Structure 1
């Protein structure tokens, strides 16, 4: 083999070796970039998860809440009627069916100030899903969107049975849409549990004074029927009329 040919062969081998080395460097750079992107993606997911948990545990009191941040008011009448209720509570559902519309009409007419206190004393009856807390927190989010009463009513119209899983967040959001609650802020509040710590605190305040739901209080005095039963609509109406003078 001539010297010129040998030189060309050596040169060609060097070029091939350089190309292979460049290809290896390119692959290393590519996979390093992919690994970095994956690490950042996972870190972002972890960070979001941690932030969501931190937000869920943070006390956020609804700006629209009254009575030491525990209730949502309807009307501005001279007689104050406080109703403490749990969205999982069958007795609360029965009370709403019997007297809810009457109280709402009295509030609209300016006869009473109706203050509804969502509480969560029945989480133990929703198979670990904490429906009472989630629904109370969702009601707070609805109040912030100016749709408390509409959302309150649609939850009772679709009240789950005690000892069931309750409604999922997806179902809560679906029902909210049916009454015009469609904002991303509301959806995020439900999914992230923005007001769940508030619901727990409001329940603790309730438990310091009363036991059982529904609890009805007229001008600061608890109202019960015979043998500590839930007051009837007639008894409730009579008590309100007497308080109004």
Structure 2
């Protein structure tokens, strides 16, 4: 069994990658590029750093000025899929599809959900660190949702495209949006299978056919899914939501003196976890 890096090694590497992202941002700005989506890859973590020009962008989950020219999926009005549960069952909150040029709408929890802890998780199905987080914490989080202790909102992003030769992160996030639109209650089962099948960085990533097959094994066999994945229906929406999160200052955390957005990022009511202690401890704070 391969020896896992200790916490100090992990933080050192994440900090180095954040510095690389900042340097890359400055280089692109100097070239006058209009699109400033800076994406770096890592076998441990991914960070996004963008130039903000000193403009305050408000708190997490507050709709930003960033919009998408493409319509978004149903059941992701906040640009995340919201999950609630009780008595051992988990269901997705249904919302209308996001219209083209529309900003996200923050989820408003009512009834029994209003007094629960509201947890958000920002992740990328192609990100190795997100896979590690899934393996270590998915059961804890889903049990907390199913028991009615928390609500959980998942935000699929495309952060590590550069780690693959076929924009696999974007294609994976598009597939996540397709699942949320077509079979939202199957989202967690699909996510578990997609992380289990995550390909190594430096490869082409999963093909569209691979993703359709894996998602089908989770019980999502609607023919519309294959069309949604193959056509890349929500690619424009994926880019917009990734950029929105990257520009949200309140979702940044500091590691080894470097402040950046890292995936995965876990937050409660928009305030990110400082990665101190365990996730179980964090949920009880």
Tell me the TM-score normalized by structure 2. 0.59
Tell me the secondary structure at the aligned position of residue 82 of structure 2. strand
Structure 2 Cα separation of the partners of residues 152 and 108 of structure 1: 17
Match of 2:194 among 155, 177, 188: 155
Tell me the CA shift for residue 161 of structure 1: 1.2
1:72 aligns with 2:70: no
Structure 2 Cα separation of the partners of residues 236 and 157 of structure 1: 21
Match of 2:282 among 229, 239, 243: 239
Structure 2 Cα separation of the partners of residues 176 and 105 of structure 1: 22
Match of 2:127 among 82, 85, 89: 89
Q: Which residue of 2 aligns with 1:169?
A: 208
Q: Which residue of 1 aligns with 2:240?
A: 201
Tell me the CA shift for residue 225 of structure 1: 2.1
Larger Rg: 1
Is the 1:81–1:218 contact (alpha carbons within 8 Å) kept by the matching residues of 2? yes
Tell me the CA shift for residue 224 of structure 1: 2.2
1:179 aligns with 2:188: no
Q: Which residue of 2 aligns with 1:142?
A: 179
Q: 1:133-190: CA deviations, max 9, x gaps?
A: 1011101111112221221111011111122111000000110110111111111000
Which portions of structure 1, spanning 4 or more consecutive aligned residues, are displaced by more than 6 angstroms?
A: none
Structure 1 residues 205-220: aligned runs within 5 Å: 205-209=244-248, 210=252, 211-220=261-270
Tell me the TM-score normalized by structure 1. 0.68
Query: Where do 5+ consecutive residues of structure 1 fail to align?
Result: 1-56, 227-231
Tell me the CA shift for residue 58 of structure 1: 5.7
Structure 2 Cα separation of the partners of residues 150 and 87 of structure 1: 13
User: Which one has the bigger strand percentage?
Assistant: 2
User: Which one has the bigger helix percentage?
Assistant: 1
Q: Judging changes above 3 Å, is the alpha-carbon distance between structure 1 residues 174 and 96 closer, same or farther for their aligned structure 2 residues?
A: same
Q: Judging changes above 3 Å, is the alpha-carbon distance between structure 1 residues 180 and 58 closer, same or farther for their aligned structure 2 residues?
A: farther
Q: CA RMSD in A?
A: 1.6
Structure 2 Cα separation of the partners of residues 241 and 133 of structure 1: 34
Query: Where do 5+ consecutive residues of structure 2 fail to align?
Result: 1-67, 86-112, 253-260
Q: Which residue of 2 aligns with 1:41?
A: none
Structure 1 Cα separation of the partners of residues 210 and 266 of structure 2: 29
Aligned residues: 176
